[in-house]
């Protein structure tokens, strides 16, 4: 399923290897850095399996909430908001670049909170207001959707300069709304989310901002890469992380399995440009992923498109699963 928005770092071109290396059996799927939602919406639906989409960008999760819960209202709002000039784009960009949700009523309420309540109480109420404000805000979601669609490569940072008819994306919003019907949408820091949903039967997928990449709307300093590694190191569930393949990431995740592949570089202006990707797991995909086991036995030509670059001495996540297919081929 195609997402209703483009997004920097979208995983459409890597779905083949993400699905290939994924564990076969799990009861909850956690998409920690959800982005466009491509990975969540393209995974097979399993009855009884919990699905969680999360992103730290409150404008993005608000848009997903509106697509999920109020698609008709969002479609109606989009039909009345033309955005065809650079000036219109810049106005929206300045609005969403602010640190807080700037609704006039909300701002007045927060000011009164600080005046009438003691500092600790005021801060707690202010935090709750900011958490609740973005949920289901149709006008805000429509503005943000248009800003993404009119930006360069879905970056929401610079005007793309190409004409775009928003109406031709309406069917994607409707289809994605149905797919998201049973998905839990969260807007949390990755560490808090992982600790909340981690279980032995969980499949935790992380697509963090890539190391030393500057094309993301939300910053991700070096200490966050270390913090992500540290929380994943102690996870009970199956962990998969997609990253740019580089020496720093390879050294940081030396306790994990590291696969390398390449994909077309959509951000490059050069024809045929490719980008090196790392797929990192805390389990041995050769035992946990039935597709990988079967295709390896049958000599699938796709095996040449990726390679195992590092294997730890001891897997962090043990798996005792052996498929019937493996048994038949022994």
Segments forming the whole domain that contains residue 240 = 12-56+188-329
- Cα–Cα distance for residue pair 117/151, rounded to 1 Å: 42
> How many domains is the chain partitioned into structurally?
2
How high is the pLDDT of residue 325?
37
Residue 233 and residue 282 in one domain: yes
> Is 3 inside a domain boundary?
no
One domain, residues 208 and 91 = no
Bridge partner list, 206: 241
How much of the chain, in percent, has pLDDT values that exceed 70?
64
CA pair distance 149, 155, nearest whole angstrom? 9
Q: What is the mean pLDDT of the chain?
A: 78
Pairing of strands 274-281, 238-244: antiparallel
> Does 310 lie in the same domain as 256?
yes
In a domain, 183, yes or no: no
* Element containing residue 277 per DSSP (H, E): strand 274-281
Boundary residue ending a domain (177, 202, 237): 177
| In-domain check, residue 7 | no
In a domain, 5, yes or no: no
Q: Tell me, yes or no, whether 213 and 315 share the same domain.
A: yes
Summarised one tens digit per residue, pLDDT across range 269-306 is 555 557 799 999 999 998 765 555 545 544 444 545 88
- Which residues are within 8 A (CB) of 111 and not within 5 positions of it... i.e. 6 or more apart? none
pLDDT tens-digit series, residues 180-197: 999 999 999 999 999 999
Q: Is 221 within the bounds of a domain?
A: yes
Handedness of CA 31, 34, 40, 42 (dihedral sign): negative
Domain boundary among 120, 149, 177: 177
Among the three residues 177, 205, 238, which one is the final residue of a domain in this structure? 177
Phi then psi for 75, rounded to 5 degrees? -60, -40
Q: Check whether residue 192 and residue 309 sit in a common domain.
A: yes
The CATH number given to whatever domain includes residue 254 is 3.40.50.150
Same domain for 49 and 76: no
Q: What confidence category does residue 73 fall into, taking pLDDT thresholds of 50, 70 and 90? A: confident
Q: In which residue are the tokens 């993301």 written?
A: 216
DSSP assigned state of 181 = T
What is the DSSP secondary-structure string of 226-259? HHHHHHHHT-SSEEEEEEE--HHHHHHTTTSEEE
Residue 92's pLDDT is: 54
């Amino acid at each position: 399923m195609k997402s209703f928005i483009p997004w920097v770092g979208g995983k459409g071109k890597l779905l083949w290897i993400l699905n290939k290396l994924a564990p076969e059996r799990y009861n909850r799927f956690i998409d920690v850095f959800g982005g466009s939602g491509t990975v969540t919406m393209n995974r097979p639906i399993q009855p009884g399996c919990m699905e969680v989409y999360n992103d730290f960008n409150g404008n993005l999760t608000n848009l997903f909430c509106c697509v999920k819960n109020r698609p008709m209202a969002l479609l109606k709002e989009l039909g009345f908001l033309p955005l065809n000039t650079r000036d219109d784009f810049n106005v929206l960009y300045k609005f969403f670049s602010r640190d807080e949700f700037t609704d006039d009523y909300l701002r007045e309420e927060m000011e009164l909170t600080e005046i009438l309540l003691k500092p600790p109480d005021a801060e707690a109420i202010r935090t709750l207001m900011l958490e609740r404000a973005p949920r289901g805000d149709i006008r805000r979601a429509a503005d943000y959707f248009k800003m993404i669609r009119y930006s360069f490569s879905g970056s929401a940072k610079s005007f793309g300069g190409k004409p775009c008819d928003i109406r031709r994306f309406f069917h994607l919003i409707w289809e994605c709304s149905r797919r998201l019907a049973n998905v839990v949408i969260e807007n949390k820091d990755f560490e808090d989310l992982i600790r909340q949903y981690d279980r032995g039967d969980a499949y935790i997928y992380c697509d963090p901002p890539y190391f030393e990449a500057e094309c993301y709307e939300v910053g991700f300093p070096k200490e966050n890469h270390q913090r992500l590694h540290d929380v994943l190191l102690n996870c009970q569930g199956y962990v998969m992380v997609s990253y740019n393949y580089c020496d720093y990431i390879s050294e940081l995740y030396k306790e994990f399995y590291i696969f390398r592949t390449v994909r077309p570089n959509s951000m490059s202006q050069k024809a045929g440009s490719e980008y090196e990707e790392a797929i990192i797991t805390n389990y041995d995909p050769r035992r946990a992923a039935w597709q990988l086991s079967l295709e390896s036995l049958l000599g699938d030509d796709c095996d040449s498109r990726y390679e195992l670059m590092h294997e730890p001495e001891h897997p962090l996540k043990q798996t005792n699963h052996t498929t019937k297919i493996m048994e038949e081929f022994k």
